[in-house]
Amino acid sequence: MRPHLEAIKEEMDGKTFDPEAVAEGHKRMKKLFKEYGHGGAFWFTDLTTPDALYVFPVLAALSFLVVVECNMQEGMEGNPMGDTMKKFSRILAFLTVPFTMTFPKAIFCYWITSNLFSVTYGMALKVPGVKQTLGIPDLPAAPKHLISAQTLSSIFRQQ
């Protein structure tokens, strides 16, 4: 498939300002994706279509939630907005399913892989031996006066 895409790209070089040529290139790429859109494994045989069983949207939401729970608080101690950001991210994780259930499966393959990578490196960087080997210093503890529970409106009133 890649050689065909490269050939279309080469033909399109220099024609990016011609709307008819761009439309023709889009048609050819769309046709190419339909020709090569078959195959796959298990229930996802065509990565250009939405997941009818909603497995990928749910997996993407769950993997994002794991990222939020495992990695988000790191370095946010002492930040009054840290807890709010984590709660908002949890809400986003659940809203991901209805908002993305019509997306092509290929996007979810990327998102899920990216989220799993984020969890892996986030958990690895919490191991003191890994941090020491990589030369990453420990974060200093937040000063006590910064840990007070401030709301956003109280911060703006002080200024």
The residue among 75 and 140 whose pLDDT is bigger is 140
Cα gap 16→37, rounded to integer Å: 26
For the whole model, what pTM was predicted? 0.62
One-letter amino acid of 132? Q
State both tokens at 39.
């195959």
Cα gap 111→115, rounded to integer Å: 6
Is the CB of residue 112 less than 8 Å from the CB of residue 51? no
pLDDT, tens digit, for every residue of 103-159? 988 899 899 999 999 999 888 888 889 888 988 887 776 565 554 555 555 656 665
Q: Which residues pair with 140 in a beta bridge?
A: none
Q: Which residues pair with 44 in a beta bridge?
A: 41
